[in-house]
């Protein structure tokens, strides 16, 4: 994982500084691209100071944010993201300052009904409950680092967050199959709220286990998991469709990684495509056999940059669920090598999108040669070639916009017609 240089606080309002690309992506993506950006900023703030994590845990009626919306607070004017803005968020920030000072987590209720005889916090008509907890120290940093490492390789990660002062957050999938009583410890409410990688009390394990059994027993009544904790690794499968749940005093969320775009070819179009795709919420990976082209200086957005053979690069994406691949190479020989390699691994890597740049003639030559090498026509028919949506693009930047438009259409609406539309 490429290390990112920590950013300084913005001088004007002390909000955490993002690159221009990240600012646009963060504002526009909602839940699709936000988790990776959010936890990257979480880690950077933690490396500098103590921070309060605010999480919306319950809502009723009309409210500005959904369950799971998050915000970081480390000062009155030092925040990242939002749980809805307005007077309600101002109340959360005031309470968070107290949590920063005392270390005691708490719930904050935001009344948006505009009811008489209450402090007016809004008139949306609803109600929100927000959980505030203080994060600090090396254990908290290690937990977020583990989350980021998992997300950056294209895998989801589950976070279990206790809604009390006695227990600590942990990543259920990282737990060992058994936990001896001697390995569990409690944390007193007055102690600093720091975080190991396992639940500190048998109460937490029992509560999660009981929820697991109740969910499983709806389908398999005779199954018993009472003597071990193997359920822990399966627990994320029991979450509801939104990927989050409130379980016996725990908030449990499965954070999904952003889709990964593997750009094969680090030339002018590849550089422009990385910029535009990052703005639209894709995690960027780049491959080119020329190390002077495939480098961090040309691709600062790239979380993974490969200068080796494409056959070796593809192996890194075997288990990535949301993989999009765009071939913007310097010639059809590179296209042939890449496509033949992907076809031979077709049972192990199945991209949501596979596109190839080039003229109709270049596409025809490549496809004919691949068929001579035994590649199935049915597999070739799934390739978007020539790549991109027809907008009359000429420059590398315009071509990148054309490709990204096609990527977005596939991502949001499923399959679209191959090739360029005829004007």
Q: What is the pLDDT of residue 179?
A: 29
Q: What sign for the dihedral angle of Cα 144, 150, 155, 161?
A: negative
Cα dist. 20→105, 150, 276, 372, 393 in Å? Answer: 34, 25, 12, 47, 24
Q: How far apart are CA 117 and CA 329, in angstroms?
A: 67
pLDDT of residue 210: 27
pLDDT for 418 equals: 52
List Cβ neighbours of 31 (8 Å cut-off, separation of 6 or more): 68
Query: What's the confidence (pLDDT) of residue 116?
Result: 58
Three-state secondary-structure class, residue 385: coil
Strand extents, DSSP E, 44-138: 51-60, 70-75, 78-80, 106-111, 127-135
Q: Where is 286: in which H helix or E strand? A: strand 283-287
Domains of the chain (ranges, CATH numbers)? 20-138 (no CATH), 157-187+195-255 (no CATH), 260-413 (3.40.50.720)
Contact 366, 278 (CB under 8 A): no
The tens-digit pLDDT sequence of the chain (423 residues) is 333 333 333 322 333 333 434 333 333 333 454 677 899 999 999 999 999 999 999 899 888 888 889 999 999 889 999 999 888 999 999 999 999 999 999 999 998 876 655 555 555 678 999 999 999 999 999 999 999 888 877 788 888 889 888 888 988 765 433 322 223 322 222 233 333 333 333 323 223 322 222 333 323 322 222 323 333 333 333 333 234 455 568 888 888 888 999 999 999 999 999 999 998 889 899 999 999 999 999 999 888 899 988 888 888 888 787 899 999 999 988 999 999 999 998 888 889 999 999 999 999 999 999 999 999 999 999 999 999 999 999 999 999 999 999 999 999 887 655 544 333
**Cβ-Cβ contacts under 8 Å for 35 (sequence gap 6 or more):** 151, 255, 256, 257, 258
Q: How far apart are CA 318 and CA 330, in angstroms?
A: 25
Q: Which residues contact 414 (CB under 8 A, 6 or more apart)?
A: none
* Number of DSSP helices (H) and strands (E) in the chain, helices first: 12, 13
Question: Could you tell me whether strands 283-287 and 51-60 are parallel, antiparallel, or unpaired per DSSP bridges?
Answer: unpaired
**In angstroms, rounded to a whole number, what is the distance separating the alpha carbons of residues 381 and 366?**
13
Gap between the Cα atoms of 118 and 298, Å rounded: 56
């Amino acid at each position: 994982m490429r290390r990112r240089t920590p950013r300084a606080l913005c001088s004007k309002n002390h909000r955490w500084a993002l690159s221009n690309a990240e600012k646009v992506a963060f504002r526009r993506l909602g839940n699709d691209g936000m988790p990776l950006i959010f936890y990257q900023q979480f880690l950077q703030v933690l490396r500098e100071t103590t921070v309060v994590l605010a999480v919306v845990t319950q809502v009723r009626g009309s409210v500005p944010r959904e369950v799971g919306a998050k915000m970081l607070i480390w000062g009155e004017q030092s925040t990242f993201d939002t749980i809805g803005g307005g007077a309600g968020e101002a109340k959360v920030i005031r309470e968070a300052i107290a949590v920063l000072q005392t270390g005691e987590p708490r719930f904050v209720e935001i009344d948006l009904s505009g009811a008489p005889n209450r402090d007016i916090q809004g008139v949306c008509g609803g109600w929100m409950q927000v959980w505030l907890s203080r994060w600090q120290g090396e254990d908290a940093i290690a937990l977020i680092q583990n989350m980021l490492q998992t997300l950056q390789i294209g895998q989801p990660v589950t976070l279990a967050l206790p809604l009390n002062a006695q227990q600590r957050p942990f990543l259920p999938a990282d737990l060992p199959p058994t936990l001896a009583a001697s390995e569990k410890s409690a944390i007193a409410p007055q102690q600093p709220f720091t975080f190991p990688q396992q639940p500190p009390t048998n109460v937490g394990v029992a509560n999660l286990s009981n929820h697991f059994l109740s969910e499983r027993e709806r389908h398999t009544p005779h199954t018993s998991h009472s003597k071990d904790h193997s359920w822990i690794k399966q627990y994320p499968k029991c979450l509801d469709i939104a990927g989050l749940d409130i379980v016996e005093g725990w908030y449990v969320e499965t954070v999904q990684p952003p889709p990964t775009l593997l750009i094969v070819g680090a030339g002018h179009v590849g550089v422009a495509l990385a910029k535009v795709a990052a703005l639209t919420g894709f995690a960027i990976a780049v491959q080119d056999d020329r190390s002077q082209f495939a480098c961090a200086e040309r691709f600062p957005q790239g979380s993974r940059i490969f200068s080796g053979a494409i056959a070796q690069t593809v192996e890194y994406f075997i288990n990535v669920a949301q993989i999009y691949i765009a071939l913007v190479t310097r010639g059809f020989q590179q296209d042939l090598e890449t496509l033949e390699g992907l076809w031979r691994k077709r049972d192990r890597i199945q991209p949501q999108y596979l596109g190839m740049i080039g003229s109709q003639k270049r596409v025809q030559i490549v496809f004919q040669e691949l068929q001579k090498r035994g590649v199935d026509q049915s597999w070739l028919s799934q390739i978007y070639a020539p790549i991109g949506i027809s907008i009359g693009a000429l420059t590398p930047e315009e071509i990148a916009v054309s490709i990204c438009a096609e990527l977005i259409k596939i991502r949001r609406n499923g399959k679209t017609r191959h090739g360029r539309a005829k004007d």
